[in-house]
Amino acid sequence: MPLNIQLVPVESADLDTVQDIVNSNTDYNRMENGRPERSREEILEQLSPDQHSLMIRLDGRAIGLLQYLDRNPKDGYPWLGLLMIHEELKGKGYGKAAYAAFAQRLRQEGKQSVRIGVIPENEPAKRFWSSLGFQYYATKMANIGIEVECYEKAL
């Protein structure tokens, strides 16, 4: 039976839930900014109006966060900036189901492909994205000042 995954816009009332999801992923936070947790101010900054921030819900329950740009001004492609599942819920297929829902949304909007950036040390993420068919194409400096490996997938 398919998972009942919904992608819904993050609202201001979701801030505590977003912070809980982000801070449950201490290994990722250490790779990205050297600290295990993010402050409330950092979370607010991450929820920039320049990108879409969507809560990943399973049967109505918040289980993750997805953020993307419709069109990166540097290359014109849609970019998935973050797909994060609460640490306690990983390994159950929720990330793959959330990506499938996201990809369907992009296809309905007429998009042909999507790009992502992965922190080089994030081996679990590289395995995850490769398993979904993403192909490495370059290493570049991200707008947050860290080097990322860039991947692309045709939709």
Tens digit of each residue's pLDDT (9 = 90 or more) over 82-121: 999 999 999 999 999 999 999 999 999 999 999 999 999 9
Residue 75's CB: how many other CB atoms inside 10 A?
Answer: 12
pTM over 0.85: yes
Q: How far is CA 58 from the centre of its chain?
A: 16
For the cut 80, the answer to whether the pLDDT of residue 2 exceeds it is no
Determine the 3-state secondary structure of 70 from DSSP: coil
For the cut 80, the answer to whether the pLDDT of residue 144 exceeds it is no
Residue 39's CB: how many other CB atoms inside 10 A?
Answer: 11
For the cut 80, the answer to whether the pLDDT of residue 1 exceeds it is no
- pLDDT of amino acid 145: 78
Domains parsed from the chain with CATH numbers: 5-154 (3.40.630.30)
Is 148:139 a contact under the CB 8 Å cutoff?
A: yes
Is 117:79 a contact under the CB 8 Å cutoff?
A: yes
- pLDDT of amino acid 122: 94
Tens digit of each residue's pLDDT (9 = 90 or more) over 23-45: 999 999 999 889 999 999 999 98
